[in-house]
């Protein structure tokens, strides 16, 4: 039985909320300095807001199947389960549902996209093959009691955006400089060894008690942005539909390219070198084509 960490229970500061900031402000104040922010008004005028409900997904995509922890569910079943979910018997939490593959026509529901002309995953200079395997847009379905309780850092040095389109979701975030208290797994350092992190066993993981992080309840309609390298986990208080997006811009581009290169080199060293060289050239071209950050 673990001892509840006071850090997880109380006293964690909230994430800063900003209303209607410009892309330039977002880049300058949060993306480049590596700080998280909640963008309160971003989704207000998106077609998705008010449209992405359990009824909508049941009616239009009910037949689509998706695997969660080795079990296949239809979207219709998932929608029933997230609404019937309880703390004792939580609905399966489905994540990594790729919008580009499963619901491509829904992408237009999230426009205007965050980062605008600084978004490299949408830059036409980048050949599709170079970014194959990177999920750019995804949807998460969850219910009361469901969670992603494993503290982790997102893959490939990508920044993350999550927008709550139905219901709320609670986030716990720890900055990269707290990594010494996160107990990264030796075999997979992007995941923490701290299990049951909402009530961690501080006898086993004493340094976790020193970690200083943030806690926020992301409300329906709100968007959180957090930069690469931030540890996070989530908890869901009721039926929830979230939109998730991976963000790549000039700042995290070199690390992204290197990560991707490491993935390729497991298959073929020659291919990896060629792809890295192509990626490097594309990066230089994108540097030239992107607007400078506005000063104000
Ligand atoms: Fe994540």
- The better pLDDT of the pair 5, 196 is held by 196
Report CA(93)–ligand 1 centroid distance (Å).
13
Separation CA 201–CA 183 (nearest Å): 12
Least confident span in 46-55, 131-140, 164-173, 233-242: 131-140
All domains in the chain, ordered by first residue: 6-251 (2.60.120.650)
Taking the model in full, what pTM does it have? Answer: 0.92
176 CA distance to ligand 1 centroid (A)?
Answer: 14
Give yes or no for residue 33 having a pLDDT over 70: yes
**Residue 48: what pLDDT?**
96
What is the per-residue pLDDT across 99-130, written as a single tens digit (0 to 9) for each?
Answer: 999 899 999 999 888 998 899 998 989 988 88
pLDDT of residue 18: 96
Ligand 1 center–CA 138 separation, angstroms: 12
Give mean pLDDT, residues 264-288: 93
pLDDT interval class at 65 (50, 70, 90): very high
* Least confident window among 85-94, 172-181, 228-237, 286-295: 286-295
Instruction: Report how far ligand 1's centroid is from the alpha carbon of 133 (Å).
Output: 16
In the chain, where do the E strands start and end?
17-18, 37-39, 65-68, 71-74, 94-98, 137-142, 147-152, 159-166, 169-174, 184-185, 188-192, 214-218, 223-226, 231-235, 240-247
Distance 7 CA to ligand 1 centre (A): 20
Mean residue pLDDT across the chain: 91
């Amino acid at each position: 039985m673990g001892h509840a960490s006071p850090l997880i229970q109380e006293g964690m500061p909230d994430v800063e909320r900003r209303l209607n900031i410009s892309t330039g402000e977002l880049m300058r104040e949060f993306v480049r300095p590596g700080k998280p922010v909640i963008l309160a008004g971003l989704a207000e005028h998106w077609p998705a807001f008010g449209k992405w409900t359990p009824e909508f997904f049941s009616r239009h995509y009910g037949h689509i199947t998706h695997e969660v922890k080795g079990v296949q569910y239809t979207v219709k079943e998932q929608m029933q389960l997230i609404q019937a979910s309880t703390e004792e018997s939580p609905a399966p939490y489905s994540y990594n549902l790729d919008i580009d593959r499963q619901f491509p026509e829904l992408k237009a529901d999230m426009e205007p996209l965050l980062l605008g002309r600084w978004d490299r995953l949408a830059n036409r200079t980048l050949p599709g093959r170079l970014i194959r395997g990177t999920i750019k847009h995804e949807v998460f379905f969850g219910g009361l009691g469901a969670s992603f309780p494993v503290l982790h850092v997102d893959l490939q040095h990508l920044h993350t955006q999550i927008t709550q389109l139905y219901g709320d979701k609670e986030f716990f975030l720890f900055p990269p400089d707290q990594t010494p208290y996160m107990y990264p797994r030796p075999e997979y350092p992007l995941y923490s060894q701290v299990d049951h992190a909402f009530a961690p066993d501080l006898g086993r993981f004493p340094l976790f008690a020193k970690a200083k992080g943030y806690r926020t309840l992301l409300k329906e309609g709100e968007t959180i942005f957090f930069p690469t390298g931030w540890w996070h986990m989530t908890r869901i208080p009721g039926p929830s539909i979230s939109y998730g997006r991976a963000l790549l811009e000039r700042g995290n581009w070199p690390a992204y390219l290197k990560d991707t290169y490491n993935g390729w080199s497991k298959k073929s060293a020659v291919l990896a070198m060629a792809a890295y060289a192509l990626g490097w050239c594309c990066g230089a071209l994108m540097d030239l084509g992107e607007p400078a950050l506005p000063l104000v």
